[in-house]
Structure 1
Amino acid sequence: MKKFIQLSVLAVASLVLSNAALSQELTGTLKKIKETNTITIGHRDASVPFSYYDDKQQVVGYAMDICMAVVDGIKAQLNMPNLQVKLNPVTSATRIPLMANGTIDLECGSTTNNVDRQKQVSFGPSYYLTASRYVYKKGSGITDIASLKGKTVVSTAGSTNIKQVTEANVAQNLNLTILSAKDHPEGFLMVETGRAAAFVMDDIILAGLIGSAKMPGDFEISKDAFSKPEPYGFMIPRDDPAFKKVVDEAAGKLYKSPAMLALHAKWFEKPIPPKGIVLNQPASAELKKAFANPTDNPDPDSYK
């Protein structure tokens, strides 16, 4: 009995020392999460179907489901089953500054992973591939990018899309008037009300906006694009390899499992809240390849 008690005391002491060592070894974001018992997720308010408010003002979406699986991996790594999740809304313009200044730990939305952004933040493995296209009203006479010449177009402030259309305007001598919208719904509304001929944005975001419109049949998404297919990923703080390792492992485990394609189908092939729209966008061969071999590579050509 005495020997059993001694062994039990040693086991408890070992556990305490182990936890103390873990606490001392933690750095950066993991240490912050451990000390505050909170992880803060940056989310969008209207990036359907990635991250948005439903009719009950709950934040839902494809990116949110993936990020919550990542949070589960962080909970397991830190042995914190009761870790609190705080939600913090972000916009295209504020998401990178809020990540850089430590306000958010994980950003779950529709953010393009590119070389310029990797100078400011890091990314988890890519979870979607999109291209920069534009939505316009049927019967407007718009047939391709050249037919936009001299017209007013809009894109969302802080997005890669507004940069792409600005560059195309100069390169192709389009003489566009380019307006900046505070968010995606405002940009779409400007086309809906005739204040702009086209709204330039990622094609999947445009599909969600059309599906939610009063008259979906009035709009069309361009076949030509301002970009190659580009990867979406969730942002995490830069220069934090320990946190990135945990995030990448948790995401990779999900991506390689059958649950990932089921999750994709839930948001892109089935009715989604709040209006039950169906985007009808099955996973492409390139995206399936990215799931099988998770990567944060920003080069569009690497996904071919």
Structure 2
Amino acid sequence: MNLAKLATVLAAVGVLSSAAHAQELTGTLKKIKDTGTITLGVRDSSIPFSYNVGGVRTIGYSYDVATKIVEAVKDQLKLKDLQVKEIPVTSQNRITLLQNGTIDLECGSTTNNLERQKQASFTDTIFIIGTRIMVKKDSGIKDWADLKGKNVVTTAGTTSERLLRKMNDDKQLGMNIISTKDHGQSFLTLESGRAVAFMMDDALLYGERAKAKNPADWVVVAKPQSREAYGCMVRKDDAPFKALADKTIAGMMKDGSIVAEYKKWFEQPVPPKGVNMEFPLSDDMKALIKNPNDKALD
């Protein structure tokens, strides 16, 4: 075969190889490649995981993880000009918006549990929490039994809401449960005196405390009612995209960048008020960093 023919054959092989590679893309990665855009579901007030500051930008621990995943997608798909779009989501609509293709990835404060795994897939865990309550420091409330007959607020569509309602029925506490659309409104309900306690994931409670008018007025108390794993949500049965996200998160665990992110958001002053949450790395988190996994804890 002369050189001219060889060059033609090699060029053809290259074209076929590129075409085959393009055909191999499926699901979310194909959608991103075809549109040149990845759409993130972000939260307005899940401090310090994913929240808006000044009405202009999203920041937070989980948001930083999402940014790392976006960078990995950009590299794998070789998209120099990948556009990143952000759409605010709530606890009530985040799964629906993922399922219908409005968003491609949601990294916020979403618990990975067996019930939700029927609707979406979860990446390797990025955080582990316990569900507790925040109360006024001088309220006298120390544990769940002290809430009998009182107004308690939580955020609609969360695992905390489900746990609180079940506890109320099982233990016949007679609580009046108030559900609001987001964590910010839940804390406002507590701060204004319409509720005596706010039940939620402990890290989120510390986040709301950090933006209070007087953070020292509020304390997080009570024995945790559950241990829960936060993961980023991706569409169900989208193995290639989940694998890329998992690889990114595991890499952050291995190279120490997840610990740096933790210190940045949980052990140093955070916007908007520059309050330090003083929420040290738990034994659960230390174990997770040594052994990244996507297991639900319930």
TM range (shorter): over 0.9
Superposed counterparts of 1:110-259, under 5 Å: 110-227=109-226, 229-259=227-257
Please identify, of 177-186 and 247-256, the stretch whose mean Cα deviation from structure 2 is larger. 247-256
Q: Distance in 2 between matches of 1:265 and 1:10?
A: 55
Q: CA deviation at 1:138?
A: 2.1
Give the residue type in structure 1 aligned to 2:113.
N
| SS of 1:67 mapped into structure 2 | helix
The answer as to whether partners of 1:165 and 1:226 remain within 8 angstroms in 2 is: no
Q: Distance in 2 between matches of 1:285 and 1:261?
A: 13
Q: Deviations over 1:203-257 (max 9, x none)?
A: 1111011111001122111132222x21111101001112211221122122211
Q: Deviations over 1:49-72 (max 9, x none)?
A: 100012362101110111111111
Give the residue type in structure 1 aligned to 2:238.
D
| SS of 1:115 mapped into structure 2 | coil
Q: CA deviation at 1:272?
A: 1.5
Q: Distance in 2 between matches of 1:177 and 1:158?
A: 17
Give the residue type in structure 2 aligned to 1:243.
F
Please identify, of 193-202 and 249-258, the stretch whose mean Cα deviation from structure 2 is larger. 249-258
* TM-score computed with the length of structure 1 as normaliser: 0.93
Superposed counterparts of 1:82-97, under 5 Å: 82-97=81-96
The answer as to whether partners of 1:168 and 1:226 remain within 8 angstroms in 2 is: no
RMSD: 1.7
Q: Distance in 2 between matches of 1:11 and 1:83?
A: 30
Relative to structure 1, is the Cα distance of residues 84 and 198 closer, same or farther in structure 2, using a 3 angstrom cutoff?
A: same
| SS of 2:275 mapped into structure 1 | coil
Superposed counterparts of 1:43-58, under 5 Å: 43-55=42-54, 57-58=56-57
Q: Distance in 2 between matches of 1:286 and 1:225?
A: 14
Q: CA deviation at 1:186?
A: 0.7
| SS of 1:256 mapped into structure 2 | helix
The answer as to whether partners of 1:29 and 1:243 remain within 8 angstroms in 2 is: yes
Q: CA deviation at 1:177?
A: 0.7
The answer as to whether partners of 1:43 and 1:51 remain within 8 angstroms in 2 is: yes
Q: CA deviation at 1:8?
A: 6.4
2:263 matched to which residue of 1?
Answer: 265
Q: Distance in 2 between matches of 1:8 and 1:195?
A: 77
Q: CA deviation at 1:148?
A: 0.3
1:289 matched to which residue of 2?
Answer: 287
Q: Distance in 1 between matches of 2:32 and 2:161?
A: 35
Q: Distance in 1 between matches of 2:202 and 2:235?
A: 27
Q: Distance in 1 between matches of 2:229 and 2:260?
A: 20
Q: CA deviation at 1:139?
A: 2.1
Q: Distance in 1 between matches of 2:175 and 2:295?
A: 32
Give structure 2 stretches of 5+ with no counterpart: none
* Number of corresponding residues: 297
Q: CA deviation at 1:102?
A: 1.4
Q: Distance in 1 between matches of 2:145 and 2:10?
A: 73
Q: Distance in 1 between matches of 2:129 and 2:175?
A: 24
Relative to structure 1, is the Cα distance of residues 255 and 9 closer, same or farther in structure 2, using a 3 angstrom cutoff?
A: farther
1:277 aligns with 2:275: yes
Q: Distance in 1 between matches of 2:16 and 2:214?
A: 63
1:77 matched to which residue of 2?
Answer: 76
2:32 matched to which residue of 1?
Answer: 33
Please identify, of 116-125 and 74-83, the stretch whose mean Cα deviation from structure 2 is larger. 74-83
Q: Distance in 2 between matches of 1:149 and 1:192?
A: 19
Please identify, of 193-202 and 272-281, the stretch whose mean Cα deviation from structure 2 is larger. 272-281
Q: Distance in 1 between matches of 2:48 and 2:82?
A: 26
Q: Distance in 2 between matches of 1:251 and 1:9?
A: 42
Q: Distance in 2 between matches of 1:82 and 1:201?
A: 39
| SS of 1:88 mapped into structure 2 | strand
| SS of 1:131 mapped into structure 2 | strand
